[in-house]
Amino acid sequence: RTLFLCYPDEEDRQPPPKEDDDEEDDDDDEGLQPPTSMAAACLEHFAGDTIIHVGELYGDTLSLDQAPWGRSSSKEFQERLAAEYHCILKMKLKNNWLHVRDTLSVWKRSEMCCLVFGGDDDDKGGKAGSDASSSSGSGVEEAYYKYIPPEEKLPENMAAPCVAHLFGPKSNDKK
């Protein structure tokens, strides 16, 4: 299954439901709630493993008003997307407005792996039930990480043309 989201969220704040019809100042920003994120709601219920997103993502926006999350999807959605998925494709759209940097990106659900770090048997003060940061009081710690298969990793080295020379000569350059 694949979830396709194209500019799923708007950043308009919605007024809370009125409990009674008292005369209130409608120009006041107090009482306005942040928008409900359609993208986050979709992600909450999505059971598949592939998401296609069209729009701006964290760090790609040129708009200071929406920075750093962009105009198209909420912070809540983007944080969860990055935590539970990994990007396997990101491409600039051919035609963008001058003030946006929309992309098409494809995300795959990440497998989580658990790393267990064991403590020494002769830990100082390693008494059972002590206040150590462990799962059972035995000095064992668990940490969860995303496993991304090597064939699904995007390149880590990126540079703007003005600093690309810092990577050194390309392997196919001949002197």
In this model, does residue 19 exceed pLDDT 60? yes
Q: Cite the DSSP H helix spans in 10-74.
A: 38-45
Whole-prediction pTM: 0.70
Residue 175 pLDDT: 47
In this model, does residue 159 exceed pLDDT 50? yes
Asked if residues 148 and 82 have their Cβ atoms less than 8 Å apart, the reply is no
Please indicate whether residue 33 or residue 79 has the higher confidence score (pLDDT): 79
Asked if residues 142 and 114 have their Cβ atoms less than 8 Å apart, the reply is yes
E-state strands within the chain: 2-6, 50-55, 85-92, 103-109, 111-117, 141-147
Asked if residues 106 and 50 have their Cβ atoms less than 8 Å apart, the reply is yes
The CA-atom distances, in angstroms, between 78 and each of 4, 40, 72 are 14, 8, 10
The arithmetic mean of pLDDT across residues 132-146, rounded, is 71
The amino acid that residue 10 corresponds to is E
Residue 17 pLDDT: 58
Tokens of 45: 């219920």
Residue 51: closest CA among 76, 87, 7, 102: 87
Please indicate whether residue 61 or residue 163 has the higher confidence score (pLDDT): 163
Task: Indicate the pLDDT class of residue 62, thresholds 50, 70 and 90.
Answer: confident
pLDDT mean across residues, the chain: 80
